[in-house]
Amino acid sequence: MTTTYDSRKRILVTGGAGFLGSHLCDRLLEQGHEVLCLDNLFTGSKRNIEHLLGNTRFEFLRHDVTFPLYVEVDEIYNLACPASPVHYQHDPIQTTKTSVHGAINMLGLAKRLKCKILQASTSEVYGDPAIHPQREEYWGNVNPIGIRSCYDEGKRCAETLFFDYHRQIGLQIKVARIFNTYGPRMHPSDGRVVSNFVTQALTGGPITIFGDGTQTRSFCYVDDLIDGIIKLMNSEDDVTGPVNLGNPVEFSMNELANTVLRLTGVETSIDYKPLPDDDPKQRRPDITLAKNVLGWNPQIQLEEGLHSTVCYFQELLRTG
């Protein structure tokens, strides 16, 4: 889809220099929109948006969402928040502030502008789920005082704020519950499992598996995920979500490690390490709602997506 001058929007992407945010900026620019990319560069980097800096429809603003923001835009995607356990546990108080104060400020901005706002929520709102696979109706099983709580509870409170702004003042909201997503531009040292396994394999290992490796996750390739969140933003007005977005094919960490080793052609040892506290044992989205309401279904299989990711990290390790 491309835009005409009349249908062109000015779109704010918070967290726009991060992994998902930078791919979203790419896609919105490809569609002909203007993009205001806001980021405090905590986990994101200018490298992720370097290729966009010459585009006259792209603007970068260094700003922290925990502070008020006065700009004029037509739509807001709120992605600002560190997403990997290593990064969000680095300064947990700031993580909660980013989710909660950040949501309040971006909702206040949307309220003043009377514009649509999408929240990048997470499968972590389900915690260590007692229901499998997870449907949107499930309220979750979250520890409120553990080491993951700054992220999980921050994101849950942000969802609460989104729904209260919707009910109380009629703000148009869209809430995406994003499941594990991977691909090029993941931070090489953010500690997430795909970036860890791939960089470990490419640098001679060992591969670190936490626990016995039987815990499961479902991995969505970034291009599929970006399709999903743009479809959600452009969905009918009565679609608020929350909508699960993720790939429903589930793998154990042992299976993932073996696939990465096979694709990279590397033979290295596996180092089993203790399982971190509150690490969910299983996770898989039920995406019936996204299929029915958005017509969205991820297309890219794990091996295909991992191949692009391996190529990206090979190049990154080569050029430094």
Rounded to the nearest whole angstrom, what is the least distance from the CB of residue 7 to ligand NAD in the complex? 26
> 193-202 vs 253-264: helix axis angle to the nearest 10?
40
312 part of the active site: no
> 193-202 vs 302-319: helix axis angle to the nearest 10?
60
Three-class DSSP category at 72: coil
Decide if residue 44 touches ligand NAD (CB under 6 A): yes
Q: Which of 20, 28, 49, 294 binds ligand NAD (CB under 6 A)?
A: 20
Q: Which of 7, 68, 214, 301 binds ligand UDP (CB under 6 A)?
A: 68
Rounded to the nearest whole angstrom, what is the least distance from the CB of residue 72 to ligand UDP in the complex? 9
Q: Which stretch binds ligand UDP (CB under 6 A): 55-63, 188-196, 263-271, 288-296?
A: 188-196
Decide if residue 244 touches ligand UDP (CB under 6 A): no
Binders of ligand NAD among residues 111 to 140 (CB under 6 A) are 120, 122
CA pair distance 301, 137, nearest whole angstrom: 27
Decide if residue 89 touches ligand NAD (CB under 6 A): no
The dihedral over CA atoms of 95, 97, 98, 101, expressed in degrees to the nearest 10, equals 160
Q: Considering Cα of 209, then 183, then 152, then 89, what sign does the dihedral take?
A: positive
CA pair distance 268, 123, nearest whole angstrom: 32
Give phi and psi for 73, each to the nearest 5. Answer: -140, 170
Q: Which amino acid appears at position 150 of this protein?
A: C
How many residues bind to ligand UDP according to rule CB under 6 A? 24
Rounded to the nearest whole angstrom, what is the least distance from the CB of residue 129 to ligand UDP in the complex? 12
Q: Residue 176 carries which DSSP code?
A: E
Binders of ligand UDP among residues 212 to 231 (CB under 6 A) are 215, 217
The dihedral over CA atoms of 33, 34, 38, 39, expressed in degrees to the nearest 10, equals 60
Q: Which of 77, 126, 151, 182 is catalytic?
A: 151
By the criterion CB under 6 A, which residues form the site for ligand UDP?
A: 68-70, 84-85, 104-105, 108-109, 111-112, 180, 191-193, 196, 208-210, 215, 217, 253, 276, 279
- Kindly list the catalytic residues: 151
By the criterion CB under 6 A, which residues form the site for ligand NAD?
A: 14-15, 17-21, 39-44, 64-66, 79-83, 98, 102, 120, 122, 178, 180-181, 187
